[in-house]
Amino acid sequence: MVWHGRPSGLFPAGDHVFPADVEASAEFAAALCADLAEVHLVPLSLLAADRPAAWPLRLTSLRAFLARRASRLDEVLCGPSVASNTREHGRGLVARLRELGAPPIIVAHEEAELARVSRPGWRPTLALEALLPDALGAASLVDADSRARPGGPLAVGADISDLVLLASACCVTPGAAEVPGPWPAEQEWTSLLDVERDETPAPHGFVRVRPAVYPDALETLAVAGALLRVVVPVED
C-alpha cells in the first residue's frame, strides 16, 4: 500500500524468495553499498536549537537507481492489490482512531487521505523525499547521558528500511511468482546488508549519523544468482 506517499508492505512477512533481474540486482547492490557508507557529523549544539533546519540524508545512489528504474517502480506501485490494500488500511485506521477518541484534527487528516485514495482512477505516487531520514532527528535519539559523558557512544543509524525495500521490489522480475522452497544447504546467498564500514568514533561534540537498515523492518536481504531473498520479520 501507499499511505500519505509512503510505501508499506511491499513484501509479505516471513522468509521469501523471488526471481530477480540480475542486472538490476547488481546495480541495486552497488547503490546500497555506496549509500551505507554515507556519514553525517551532527554538532551537539544543533540539537539544542529551537527550530533547526532540516538535514536530510542524501542517499544519492539509491535515488539515482530508482530514477533509472522509474518504469519498474511504477509497475510496483500500480500493482493490482495496491489500491485496494491502501483503501482497506485507511478504513481500518480511521475506524481505530475514532474508537480511541483521537483528536478531531488527526481523524480529519486521515479521513482526507482516505477520501483521496478512494477517488476513481487514483494512482499511487511516492513522496520520495519523505523517505529520506533527517540526520538531526536521528541524532536526537542519542540519549542525553551519552551526550554529556566524555567518550560516550555518540553514533546512531538513520533508518532507510522503507527506501531499501522499495528499491528491492524494483529488482523482482515483473509478474514473477514467489519461488517455492526448501532451499538446498549448498545454496550460497550474498547478503546486501553486510557492508564493512569505518568505525572511527565521532569527533568530540558531534554525533555520527549513518544510514541503517533496521532488523525489525528487514531482517535479511540477499541474492544468489537470479534469486532475491527477503526476510521481513513477522509481527508478534
Residue ranges of domains in the chain: 2-78+123-232, 79-122
- Which pTM value belongs to this model? 0.89
Give CA–CA dist 161/129, Å, rounded: 14
**What's the pLDDT at 197?**
81
Please give the helix or strand (H or E) that residue 221 lies within, else none: strand 220-224
Structural contact between residues 159 and 214, judged by C-beta atoms closer than 8 angstroms: yes
Q: Which helix (H) or strand (E) holds 222?
A: strand 220-224
Spatial CB neighbours of 184, under 8 Å, sequence gap ≥ 6:
none
Q: Please, which residues bridge with residue 227 across strands? A: 19, 224
The CA distance from 160 to 131, in Å, is: 7
- Which residue, chain included where needed, has cell 523471488? 18
Residue (of 42, 29, 31, 6) closest to 217 by Cα position: 6
pLDDT of residue 51: 64
Residues of the chain with pLDDT under 70: 51-52, 148, 151-152, 184-186, 236
Helix (H) or strand (E) run with residue 181 in it: none
Q: Residue 184 has what pLDDT?
A: 61
Q: Quote the pLDDT of residue 168.
A: 96
d(CA 222, CA 68): 21
